[in-house]
Chain A
Amino acid sequence: MNAAQRQPAETKFEPLLQFEMEMGTFLSDWHHCDQLSTYMARMISHNRTDPVRHSNFFSSALNELLEVSFRGGSPEGRIGCAVYRQGPMERVKLSFPCPPRQRRFFREAVARTRKDDAYARYLDAISTDLAPSREVILLDLAINFDAEIRLEEDEPSITIIVDLPLEGIVS
Chain B
Amino acid sequence: MSTAILSAPFQAEFDANSQEFAFAGVIRPRSVDEISHSISTFRNAIEEARGVLYINVKRLAQMNNTAFHAFSRVVLDACRTRSDIRFVVVTSSVVGWTERMFRHLGNIEPQITVEVYDSKFYPGQSFVEDTSFIPILRTQTKMTWRHERTILPRHGMRPGIVMADICCGIGDFAVLVRKEFQPARIVALDHSRASLAYARDVATNFGISDIEYTYGDASEMLLEDNQFDLVTCRHSLQIFNQPDLLLKELYRICKPGGRVYITNEKNSHCLGEPRAQSIQWTYNEVAKLFSHFEMDVELGPKSRRYLADAGFDDILVESFMVTNLDGEPQDFADVITAWENVYAGEMAVKRGDPPEFIERFRQGFRDHIFAALHPKGYAGWPIWAASGRKPL
Instruction: List A residues at the B interface (Cβ < 8 Å).
Output: 30-31, 33-35, 38-39, 42, 46-47, 49-53, 56-57, 59-60, 63-64, 67, 122-123, 126-127, 129-132, 136-137, 140, 143-145, 169-171
Contacts and interface: CB of A to CB of B under 8 A. Distances in A.
Interface residues of A: mostly helix, strand, loop or mixed?
helix
Contacts of A127: 76, 108
A60 B96 CA distance: 11
Contact of A123 (B32, B64, B108, B200): B108
Given A131-B32, A144-B97, A170-B96, A51 B212 contact: yes
Given A60-B97, A144-B100, A132 B65 contact: yes
B216 interface: yes
Interface of B: 1, 3, 5-7, 26, 28, 30-32, 61-62, 64-66, 68-70, 72-73, 76, 94-97, 100-101, 104-105, 107-108, 187, 189, 200, 209, 212-216, 222-223
A35 B214 contact: no
Contacts of A46: 212
A38 B5 contact: yes
Given A38-B5, A39-B1, A53-B96, A59 B62 contact: yes
Contact of B62 (A50, A60, A170, A171): A60
B223 A52 contact: yes
A140 B101 contact: yes
26 contacts: A34-B6, A35-B1, A38-B5, A46-B212, A49-B213, A51-B187, A51-B212, A52-B212, A53-B216, A56-B61, A56-B95, A59-B62, A60-B97, A63-B28, A63-B62, A64-B65, A123-B107, A126-B69, A126-B104, A126-B105, A132-B66, A136-B65, A136-B69, A145-B97, A169-B96, A171-B215
B214 A57 contact: no
Contact of B200 (A42, A49, A132, A136): A49
Contacts of A169: 96
A170 B68 CA distance: 21
A53 B222 contact: yes
B6, B31, B187, most chain A CB atoms within 10 A: B6
B26 A34 contact: yes
A112 to B, nearest CB: 16
Contacts of B108: 123, 126-127
A50 B213 contact: yes
B138 to A, nearest CB: 21
A45 B326 CA distance: 41
Given A35-B3, A56-B97, A127-B108, 17 more contacts: A34-B28, A49-B200, A49-B213, A52-B216, A52-B222, A52-B223, A53-B222, A56-B96, A57-B96, A57-B97, A63-B28, A64-B64, A67-B66, A131-B31, A131-B32, A137-B65, A140-B101
Given A53-B96, A126-B104, A131 B64 contact: no
Contact of A56 (B68, B209, B222): B222
